[in-house]
Amino acid sequence: MSRLKSFIKSIQLKFIIIYILLLLIAIQVIGAYFARQLETQLLENFTESISERVELLNYNLEQALSEERDEDSPTIEQDVRSIIFDLDSDDITEIQVIDHNNRVLGTTNQFDRVNIGNRTTEPRIQRALSAGNREENVVYNPQNGHRTLVISTPVESEGDIIGALSLEASMEGVYTQLNDINRIFANGTVLAITVSALLGILVARTITRPITEMRKQAKVMATGDYSNKVNVYGEDEIGQLAISFNDLNDQLQLAQATTEGERRKLSSVLSNMTDGVIATDDYGDIILMNEPAANLIGKNYIEVQGQPLIDVLGLHTHVNSLEEIKEIGSTIIDYTEDDHELLLKANFSAIQDEAEEMNGFLTVISDVTEEERVERERREFVANVSHELRTPLTTMRSYLEALTEGTTWKDETIAPKFLNVVQNESERMIRLVNDLLQLSKMDNKDYLLQKERVEYIEYIDQIIDRFSLNLKEGLSLKRVLPKDRCYVWMDSDKLTQVLDNIISNAIKYSPEGGEINVTVNIERHHILTKVSDEGVGIPQENLEKVFDRFYRVDKARTRQLGGTGLGLAIAKELIEAHDGKIWAESREGKGTTISFSLPLMRKKRGRSS
């Protein structure tokens, strides 16, 4: 079945069909011309034969109708009957003789003999008698499909019309002969087509065999196999085509090897690049993308293939057309979703062909989230440090100018107050600088923790006692501590600094009459410490920022209380250095809870900790 389908679709069948069609058209043209000429000739011969018989009848009837008769002579009807019946012919089906008075004298049709002696009213007979017209008509009978030649002619004697002759002759013999000839011609045509088809198959195979071999070799070449060659069967055009095909095979093999080498180099470069690469055609539709680019934009190559680069990267807010992409050169694309921040930098470059016409773009994208975040934090840090240093310096300069300009320094009441402000601002700058130095050491990992085994409940109880002694009036400090003993591997000084910062903040922001709670819970592998106050609280959208450097909920109040905004940032660094975690929970206007967890030391077998 497959071979039959292949043969139906092959060029070999087309050659055979074309060959047969050409032969069939030629035969049909010749046959049509021959049939037409033969039909014309046979009809002319038939008509001429009948006309000769009509002339003979006309002559005999003229003698019979013009002859004078006596009593012993036969009647006119008898002579007419003898004349028309003597003319025996298979073609002539009916003969009718009419005198000049339109009276039927005789007929060969036995069904019309009752009309002998009666007058006829046929128009063609009337025209022959009255005007002497000779008429020849072919009448077609739709019932049986027969054709009949009808001749009406006058019978004249010495220029006078003495009667009329009507003759009908069947033409079926002519058409039967034509059908027999056409049948013979059709049989010959079928025989010729059959022989031609066999010859066409042989001829077509000689032409299509080399083409078939080249087609098979082309399929093999499409798979990347260039080892085979097609056979050359001659030096004609097909032979020259086979030679050219073999040369093309060699050139393609060389080009494929070169292209494959370049492709492997390019694929290796793209695969080992950390940056994403996206290539487009001249319409801006994506035609190539490496794996890093797919990971950065969160879509694989199958999803974006053929899609516009502007839509895939979401560049509608940056550019409106491809020409604008070429002009901007690079841009930052914000891919931030929910809590996941992602910033991508896209660098665009145009790809040009040999004619220096742009036929696409090459886009290199890289993740610059961390760089942008560091740069943003650097700018914010510099701005915050500058602001924090400028505020006390401005205050100090103002008070010192007031002391040095005039007699204020001699006033024993005002001068000490001014100097006290200058001293407080100086101490605030010293604390700020010390905190910055400590953070700098932490960032550079330039510090060592002096860890030791510490009983945590006793340790934190002492911290709370120290704060309870110096607690301002109107505040209460409560503790909820477990009775079990537990041990933590930690640096007591550094953790004391953490607790000092957290509890100090709770005291600073607690209103008069407020309550501060310190709660310790022992969990499976960790110990959890919570410090809660009843202060102003922190807005939910800013809750994650409390551990950022220089973050303040109430900046004016914090500066008034001497805070630097670095305490919780230092606490976070120190807790994480102890392999712990720290976080904040708050409801605006209801207070804040700072929690941190530290890993517990494992108990030794046979010995309780």
Is 278-361 assigned to CATH 3.40.718.10?
A: no
User: Which residue type, as a one-letter code, is found at position 346?
Assistant: A
DSSP H or E stretch at residue 99: strand 92-99
CA separation for the pair 288, 292 (Å, rounded): 12
- pLDDT score at 558: 47
Lowest mean pLDDT among 24-28, 54-58, 195-199, 603-607: 603-607
Span 214-240, average pLDDT: 79
Under a CB-based contact definition with an 8 Å cutoff, are residues 506 and 533 in contact? Answer: yes
- pLDDT score at 408: 63
Mean pLDDT, the chain, integer: 79
Label residue 599 by pLDDT band (50, 70, 90).
Answer: very high
Topology agreement, domain 12-177 and domain 278-361: yes
* Token duo for residue 366: 């890289």
User: Which residue type, as a one-letter code, is found at position 471?
Assistant: L
Condensed to tens digits (0 to 9), the pLDDT of residues 553-574 reads 554 444 444 455 677 887 888 8
Label residue 531 by pLDDT band (50, 70, 90).
Answer: very high
Span 115-138, average pLDDT: 82
- pLDDT score at 556: 44
- pLDDT score at 323: 73
> Is residue 152 predicted with pLDDT exceeding 50?
yes
For residue 121, which phi and psi values (nearest 5 degrees)?
Answer: -120, 15
Q: Which residue has the tokens 């056409």?
A: 182
Domain spans of the chain, in order of start? 12-177, 224-272, 278-361, 373-443, 452-599
Lowest mean pLDDT among 301-310, 313-322, 330-339, 380-389: 380-389
- pLDDT score at 307: 85
- pLDDT score at 69: 65
Beta-bridge mates of residue 103: 119
Q: Which residue has the tokens 């001293």?
A: 423
> Is residue 145 predicted with pLDDT exceeding 90?
no
CA separation for the pair 17, 362 (Å, rounded): 53
CA separation for the pair 603, 7 (Å, rounded): 87
* Token duo for residue 564: 């630097």
CA separation for the pair 308, 306 (Å, rounded): 7
- pLDDT score at 453: 92
CATH architecture of 452-599: 2-Layer Sandwich (3.30)
Number of Cα atoms under 13 Å in the Cβ half of residue 587 = 2
CA separation for the pair 390, 381 (Å, rounded): 14
CA separation for the pair 481, 353 (Å, rounded): 77
Span 574-586, average pLDDT: 89
The C-alpha angle 397, 398, 400, rounded to 5 degrees, equals: 65
For residue 150, which phi and psi values (nearest 5 degrees)?
Answer: -110, 125
Label residue 598 by pLDDT band (50, 70, 90).
Answer: very high
Label residue 440 by pLDDT band (50, 70, 90).
Answer: low
CA separation for the pair 60, 5 (Å, rounded): 75
Label residue 595 by pLDDT band (50, 70, 90).
Answer: very high
Span 396-404, average pLDDT: 75
* Token duo for residue 308: 């516009």
In terms of average pLDDT, the best of 147-151, 192-196, 405-409, 536-540 is 147-151
Under a CB-based contact definition with an 8 Å cutoff, are residues 507 and 558 in contact? Answer: no
CATH of span 12-177: 3.30.450.20
CATH architecture of 373-443: Orthogonal Bundle (1.10)
CA separation for the pair 333, 314 (Å, rounded): 8
* pTM exceeds 0.75: no
